[in-house]
Structure 1
Amino acid sequence: MGRANGFLSFTETFPDEKSCIKYLEMLRWKNGVVSPFDKTSKVYKCKNNKYRCKNTGKYFDAKTGTVFANTKLPLRYWFYVMFLFLAHKRGVSSCQLARDLGITQKTAWNMLHKIRSYMSVFNNGELSGEIEIDETFVGGKNKNRHSDKKVENSQGRSFKDKVPVFGMIQRNGAMIAKVVSNTKSYTLEPHIKEHIETGSVIYTDGWDYGVLNKSYIQRSVDHGAHFYGTTFVSDDGEIIQISTNKIENAWSHLKRTIFGTYYKVSKKYMQRYVDEFVFRFNTRSCTDYERFDLYLQNIA
């Protein structure tokens, strides 16, 4: 966009409904308006920012077929919500959003979940080179619970009361993270094969992932033996850093985001919150405007 960062600048750029509609049209139809009902059809421009598909006779606008379709809220509200939501490093709760916009908490909650539903596309792809992988368990600590709410035998890798999440980070690159049913090798192997290029170097905490020795180069730390990593120079002059610090740091940020902003997330919606976190991580070098544009282009 090439504009100054910040919400005040954003409101000046999109002061009314028309400016938002025009911008969405520009992103969606860079080479001219195309009917969502028949791409080969001629299109007629009508009143109130609407268009008519000649072949089908149906009316449409820039919002048709997107998250904004059939909404009762103005597009300007959606733009404001998206910008605020994407600009905050740890997200925005539905309660806070409802107070800021003067809408109900239920409406704010639905808006945020619709926005998250479009983030999964950024939590895919293939990683290569040097990859750190690890699992984490998201949920409250047993020691912090009231005595009548404590869960027995929930220490270590037990996840009776927690949601397991498997993550992969390419050093100096992107992250992919998926909610999984358990941390067994047969559950994690398909994710590794799908998202990590064969022959890559994978850094682990020593957990058995099954497939690694056959298709990848594995280097591990051993936290149980208090070995957290080392750096050395190979015979070829390559600097090799054995650690899983990046993925562990990402898990720390994920948990602080959930506990600090959302307080509690159900297992049913955990993947959407993980997608949200991964999107922020993968766009960490973008400005607020660039992140907003990237997300909006995906919708358009």
Structure 2
Amino acid sequence: MHCDSAVISKQDRDTTQPQRQKYRCSDCGRWFDDLTGTVFAGHHQPLRTWVVCLYFMGLNLSNRQVSHELGLHKDDAQRMTEQLRAGIDSQQVLPELTGEVEADEVYVVAGHKGHPKAVRQQGRQGRRRRLKGARDQGTLAKEKPPILGLIQRGGEVVFHMLENVQQKTIEPLIRTIVTKGTRFYADEYDIYARLPAWGYDHHSVCHSRGE
């Protein structure tokens, strides 16, 4: 983190993960990005990979199975699961996000043909997963649970599995976790259209362009 100075300038984006914005403190000269100070800081895996890893942990897959599903070395998968467990253990209550917050959704097809037993134990029918599915198609009932990620720049990260991607579903979650008046970065998906009416400073971004 920086020295708590309010004089911060936006710099270039991360060269390997263009979704991550870099910043520089004008007082102390320290560089940081959107994930600094979070459980994901200092790791090269994309945020979506972390989300799917967390989902597989919820299915009680072993580290070896997680590494196979994500196409990672088993040591990398083990480090990721250990990091996530440590973050979960330290998170006793939902944080309050403020300042600048980014939102995005990930759609995971529930289960994988290689592990039908693990999926059945969770009460779901096994299907092959993917990181991103078609919007408006993701629901728990259709075995494509949407996961909403809320990231405070330089602060906490919250993931929440949704029943569906509708305004009435995300509104109470956002109101509970994100302080009113917060600058809210989200794309132009219509579920975010009422952010200003809910009391947030909505700034539209285009994730496909690396914003």
TM over 0.5: no
Structure holding more strand per residue: 2
Higher-Rg member (1/2) = 1
- What TM-score does the superposition give when structure 2 sets the normalisation length? 0.44
TM-score (normalised: structure 1): 0.32
